[in-house]
Structure 1
Amino acid sequence: MGRDRRRVAIVGFGPRGLAALEALVRRASGAGAALAVDVFEPSSWPASGPSFSPGESETCLLNLPVRSIDLPPPPFAREGEGSFADWMGLTGGDGEAYLPRARLGAYLNARFETLLAQLPSHITVTRRAVRVTEARRGGEGWHLYAQGVAHGPFGHVLLSLGQPETASDDQLCRWQDHADRHSLPLRPAYPGKGLIDAAEDWAGRVVGIRGMALSALDVVRMLTLGLGGRFAGSSYIASGREPARIVPFSLDGHAPAPKPLNAKLDARFDPSQEESAAFEEALRAGLSEQPGSGLEPVRGVLESAALRVIRAGGGAVQSDEVRAWLELESERPGSQEQRGTLDALRAGISQAEGREPPAVGYTIGQLWRKWQPLLRRVFDSASVSAATAQEFVSFDDGLKRYSYGAPVETARQLRILIETGLVDPRAADDPDITLTPQGWKLHSGGHTVTASVMIDAVLPQPALAPVTEPLVAGLRQDLSLKPLGDGLGARCAPDAALIAADGVRVAGLALVGRLANGSAIATDSIHDCFGSIPDRWAQSVLSALPDQGASPS
């Protein structure tokens, strides 16, 4: 008997899994198609994912204001209803607020529950609160195994795993061995509530934070506001429960630049319609160029748009300055900031507040953020060579220090904490870090500090090779899956279908999210979760359905 293509499984049910289910329900409802969908998610909050878990600490904020959270309406919603702002009761209210991520997670969970209550009779959705550890393909379709129980067969399986288990890098492996030998605390940044509970025992100690991206800013807030501290004007009022010093460090020692303060300032970076049309044309041309030259046409559009924005903001800059910045950024992403951490942070705040003209890097980062929906739409639907994909992914990753920036208020708080000496940011790498029985001795700028506690705030790279999640590791071996390129995810078609090493689509198996990095771009975004790929996947599922004369069994 052939596989029953009307039975569908979604494995991993965070925001991206929800988006895929909604796309499937929309298309199946419109077509009157009978479907039975199983969603596999072991967490207590399906549809939220760990990043937005309603149980997470409220010190962990969204890096988008409410006005910028523009998700497609849920299925069956009436016009003007169902948005996050509407659910929060903020429609017409404070669109500038950066809310706790847990609030968005609660909304996504409620959106899922509402969908379940509104399903038409020809569509069923069954939630299975188990972790799938194995998938096997047979003549009848795919069987999924969880806790020794087989589920299926399924005609279509979508893997939406978010951040699967990944092997630690060499540095972290050494550090973990060292921490175990000397009974030193070494913890991940999340879950935040667990970190705050553990930090109750760290008063008076020096705590290191590996990394200085958005996760590190979360950790700083957990170790200050999460422990009872508060800000009053330009001062920090300590609770007495904080560490003696918090030492975040990275290769360059710089924090992300803050986003523009409000909608009015943010609008200064809006590209014109003509610039957006030119960007799309350049992007399509660049993706078909020979490897190594794909960014050239895109850089040209960025250059002209950045010149206009900077000059309109009162800046004096020449085209050759912008061109040189873009060329160096393409070659060595994130390498151009020469100022110290505090000076760079102050400048970023000033630009975000509109008190000084935007710098070249800040301007290009904001333009890139504005063009990300267009970037995803074009890139994700194209067939791109591995070398070109790596070129664009590296450029996008480098600009995240601007395009994925923090709220201005978070940057101001970090500045206050640095000025008071509670936070002591460093630039350090392995040769500058010595392991001692007392902890981690950091040497930077002629100064040395020893942290007796270490927090790992570096998220795993979205790459296929180091993934140890049993489900993915098994499929990688059974199907001979290969990464698209070094440091990239799996090769996938524009409709998310997995493509094996021989270039053939794997029947009935698709992958979305970070593990498709390179086949998709800019995947670390809530808007990407609800982008075009889940809808193309849903369309491919519906197009493969048999005649609707019988119901799925």
Structure 2
Amino acid sequence: MGRDRRRVAIVGFGPRGLAALEALVRHASGAGEALAVEVFDPSRWPASGPSFSPCESETCLLNLPLRSIDLPPPPLAHEGEGSFAEWMGQAAGDGEAYLPRARLGAYLHARYEALLAQLPSHITVTQRAVRVTEARRGGEGWQLHAPGVTYGPYCHVLLSLGQPETARGDQLSRWQDHADHHSLPLKPAYPGTGLIDAAAAWAGRVVGIRGIALSALDVVRMLTLGLGGRFSGSSYVASGREPARIVPFSLDGHAPAPKPLNAKLDARFDPLQEESEAFEEALRAGLFKHPEAGLEPVHGVLENAALRIIRAGGGAVQAAEVRDWLKLESERPGSQEQRGTLEALRASISQAEGREPPAIGYTIGQLWRKWQPQLRCAFDSALVPASIAQDFVSFDDGLKRYSYGAPVETARQLLILIETGLVDPRAADDPDITLTQHGWQLHSDEHTVTASVMIDAVLPQPALAHVTEPLVAGLRQDLALEPLGDGLGARCAPDAALITADGARVAGLALTGRLANGSAIATDSIHDCFGSISDRWAQTVLSALPDQGASSP
């Protein structure tokens, strides 16, 4: 073609990496820019990522019904083509189905392969199945190092790493030493296929699960359905391969509330247009215009919308009650819930099925879910002051127990397993834990149980300070990167460019995903992977002068 191709690297190629590549292709195709893109990921399923691996157990379900998975179309597809629902065809069933995560992963991988087959001649994509361990900037651009080989130089590098290696906390470090010393199984929740294989040897044993969030619900399904059990109506039919008991526990002992049962019930929580407009204005006020107000303007909008929805559903609630709930949520998320595990689970199922009026927390959680696109649009598009970012991220994280809820069917299955005694939540609420030669002794209130197997189902915080991944740890030291706040990720510009502690942009180096938590918000959503940040990053890459080629970092 007679033109030097600008070299770009994407390190980490799950759904977010795919979205970045698609954004590059979309913009470069229209501009006729010559690009050579190299994607780095050792996975055998590029574009799926570990969470959506096509090899993952089909007991691990999406937490969104098919009707809610609305990803932007592939950049080179014809209008109306390329959606997940279209790709699934008749196998998808109706829009209410919660499909296995592996199906979405297979779709994303197929979407990537279809993109490669349609690339215009001025764009090339090369996949490198290696793990990058170091990035160094030189006079000609960025060099990427993997064991025994160096790649580059690149004018732009995007780090899209998903969940990198993170230092174990004190508790898990002690537990691992204890497990090693006594030959006790201590396993991560994922990959699910590996957990199911290991669980074949756990029949008759007590298995503890650290955490009761979505990952723990996956684990419960793996240890029942994954071992050959099945549900029949309101009963569980055991295979005989299950553990004797499954004992989940967490700091508050509560499972996430399920999402509304179907589209009709979900529509009860739709905000009115004027409420959505008020929410966007409250975001602008709390984030930028009057940051000293923080979440207060947003709370006011949530209060008014929640009152309308609860009263329309037959509930009797006063404004002061909603206001108090929101105040507590900002200070101590989840502390409003005083019921036990079983009672709270039954109530949330009843609300999801529309059999009782929605409670304050359930209503606010559903509103927050529906407003997340507006939240991400406002939050991610500008530099939010660190203290305000901390408040909003904490509030968003706390509401995940509602906004990221499980399918109703999964909650019903958990209830059945508790009622049959296979799942035992009596030590679920922040138990005292004593390590013994037989395992982990859990004691809560007057109930004590000893688990001889432990599964860690708690996802590490996306905190830059705790990352041990060599690539990230090296860059943090070399570039003097600092966390945006306690428990948060790196400071990044709205186009994902990394920003150092002294406020300078790092030329040619960008970061997206969980490790940018605080610069972005709600980063665990599949829709966030395909959000506006990737588009802004692609525009920045292509805004460099053509004669810079690969010589500019």
TM range (shorter): over 0.9
Q: Is the 8 A contact 2:208 2:247 kept in 1?
A: yes
1:207 and 2:202 matched: no
1:125 is paired with a residue whose SS is strand
Superposed CA offset, 1:249-270 (max 9, x none): 0011100000000000001101
Unaligned runs of 5+ in 2: none
What pairs up with 1:382-421 in 2 under 5 angstroms?
382-421=382-421
Give the CA deviation at 1:275: 0.5
2:208 is paired with a residue whose SS is strand
Q: Is the 8 A contact 1:87 1:107 kept in 2?
A: yes
Q: Is the 8 A contact 1:142 1:154 kept in 2?
A: yes
- Tell me the distance in 2 between the aligned counterparts of 1:92 and 1:198: 30
Counterpart residue type for residue 384 of structure 2: V
1:285 and 2:285 matched: yes
Match of 2:343 in 1: 343
Instruction: Give aligned-pair identity as a percent.
Output: 86
Counterpart residue type for residue 13 of structure 1: F
Superposed CA offset, 1:364-418 (max 9, x none): 0000000001100000012111111110000000000000000000000000000
Q: Is the 8 A contact 1:495 1:536 kept in 2?
A: yes
Match of 1:22 in 2: 22
Counterpart residue type for residue 349 of structure 2: I
- Tell me the distance in 2 between the aligned counterparts of 1:470 and 1:204: 40
Match of 2:188 in 1: 188
- Tell me the distance in 2 between the aligned counterparts of 1:294 and 1:550: 43
1:55 is paired with a residue whose SS is coil
- Tell me the distance in 2 between the aligned counterparts of 1:292 and 1:333: 21
- Tell me the distance in 2 between the aligned counterparts of 1:215 and 1:549: 45
Counterpart residue type for residue 495 of structure 2: D
Superposed CA offset, 1:138-173 (max 9, x none): 010000011221100000000000000000111000
Mark the CA change 1:464 to 1:152 in structure 2 (over 3 Å): closer, same or farther: same
- Tell me the distance in 1 between the aligned counterparts of 2:428 and 2:355: 31
Superposed CA offset, 1:166-187 (max 9, x none): 0011100000000011110000
Q: Is the 8 A contact 1:34 1:551 kept in 2?
A: no
Counterpart residue type for residue 309 of structure 1: I
Match of 1:116 in 2: 116
- Tell me the distance in 2 between the aligned counterparts of 1:350 and 1:77: 42
Counterpart residue type for residue 381 of structure 2: S
Match of 1:356 in 2: 356
Give the CA deviation at 1:548: 9.6
Q: Is the 8 A contact 2:433 2:443 kept in 1?
A: yes
2:201 is paired with a residue whose SS is coil
1:473 and 2:473 matched: yes
Give the CA deviation at 1:293: 3.1
1:308 is paired with a residue whose SS is helix
2:464 is paired with a residue whose SS is coil
Give the CA deviation at 1:444: 0.9
Counterpart residue type for residue 257 of structure 1: A
Match of 2:512 in 1: 512
1:325 is paired with a residue whose SS is helix
What pairs up with 1:296-335 in 2 under 5 angstroms?
296-335=296-335
Mark the CA change 1:519 to 1:548 in structure 2 (over 3 Å): closer, same or farther: closer
- Tell me the distance in 2 between the aligned counterparts of 1:445 and 1:214: 25
Match of 1:249 in 2: 249
What pairs up with 1:21-100 in 2 under 5 angstroms?
21-90=21-90, 93-100=93-100
- Tell me the distance in 2 between the aligned counterparts of 1:79 and 1:339: 50
Counterpart residue type for residue 14 of structure 1: G
Match of 1:445 in 2: 445
Q: Is the 8 A contact 2:184 2:452 kept in 1?
A: yes
Match of 1:370 in 2: 370
Superposed CA offset, 1:296-337 (max 9, x none): 000000000001111111111111111110111011112111
- Tell me the distance in 1 between the aligned counterparts of 2:81 and 2:29: 19
Q: Is the 8 A contact 2:155 2:549 kept in 1?
A: no
- How many residues of Structure 1 are paired with residues of Structure 2 in the alignment? 549
Deviates more, 1:421-430 or 1:46-55: 421-430
Give the CA deviation at 1:48: 0.1
- Tell me the distance in 1 between the aligned counterparts of 2:168 and 2:35: 40
- Tell me the distance in 2 between the aligned counterparts of 1:387 and 1:290: 13
Give the CA deviation at 1:288: 2.3
1:501 and 2:519 matched: no
Deviates more, 1:443-452 or 1:290-299: 290-299
Mark the CA change 1:28 to 1:551 in structure 2 (over 3 Å): closer, same or farther: farther
Give the CA deviation at 1:271: 0.5
Counterpart residue type for residue 240 of structure 2: G
Counterpart residue type for residue 542 of structure 1: L
Deviates more, 1:381-390 or 1:105-114: 381-390
- Tell me the distance in 2 between the aligned counterparts of 1:56 and 1:105: 9
2:29 is paired with a residue whose SS is helix
Mark the CA change 1:382 to 1:98 in structure 2 (over 3 Å): closer, same or farther: same
1:170 and 2:146 matched: no
Match of 1:463 in 2: 463
Give the CA deviation at 1:445: 2.1
Q: Is the 8 A contact 1:291 1:387 kept in 2?
A: no
- The runs of 4+ residues in structure 1 deviating greater than 2 Å are 90-93, 288-293, 426-431, 547-552
Mark the CA change 1:88 to 1:239 in structure 2 (over 3 Å): closer, same or farther: same
- What is the alpha-carbon root mean square deviation over aligned residues? 1.7
1:153 is paired with a residue whose SS is strand
Q: Is the 8 A contact 1:428 1:443 kept in 2?
A: no
Superposed CA offset, 1:81-139 (max 9, x none): 10000000049950000000000000000000000000000000000000000000001
Q: Is the 8 A contact 2:427 2:442 kept in 1?
A: no
Q: Is the 8 A contact 1:292 1:387 kept in 2?
A: no
1:247 is paired with a residue whose SS is strand
Give the CA deviation at 1:76: 1.2
- Tell me the distance in 2 between the aligned counterparts of 1:195 and 1:140: 46
Superposed CA offset, 1:230-251 (max 9, x none): 0000000000000000000001
TM-score (norm 2): 0.97
Give the CA deviation at 1:545: 3.9
Q: Is the 8 A contact 2:246 2:423 kept in 1?
A: yes
Q: Is the 8 A contact 1:7 1:156 kept in 2?
A: yes
Match of 2:155 in 1: 155
TM-score (norm 1): 0.97
Match of 1:262 in 2: 262
Q: Is the 8 A contact 1:389 1:518 kept in 2?
A: yes
- Tell me the distance in 1 between the aligned counterparts of 2:445 and 2:431: 13
- Tell me the distance in 2 between the aligned counterparts of 1:253 and 1:294: 30
Match of 2:101 in 1: 101
Mark the CA change 1:249 to 1:91 in structure 2 (over 3 Å): closer, same or farther: closer
Give the CA deviation at 1:75: 1.1
- Tell me the distance in 2 between the aligned counterparts of 1:313 and 1:445: 36
Mark the CA change 1:313 to 1:90 in structure 2 (over 3 Å): closer, same or farther: farther
Counterpart residue type for residue 467 of structure 2: V
1:288 is paired with a residue whose SS is helix
Counterpart residue type for residue 7 of structure 1: R
- Tell me the distance in 1 between the aligned counterparts of 2:168 and 2:84: 36
- Tell me the distance in 2 between the aligned counterparts of 1:101 and 1:89: 16
- Tell me the distance in 1 between the aligned counterparts of 2:550 and 2:490: 35
- Tell me the distance in 2 between the aligned counterparts of 1:551 and 1:101: 41
Superposed CA offset, 1:181-204 (max 9, x none): 111000000000000000000000
Give the CA deviation at 1:290: 6.3
Unaligned runs of 5+ in 1: none
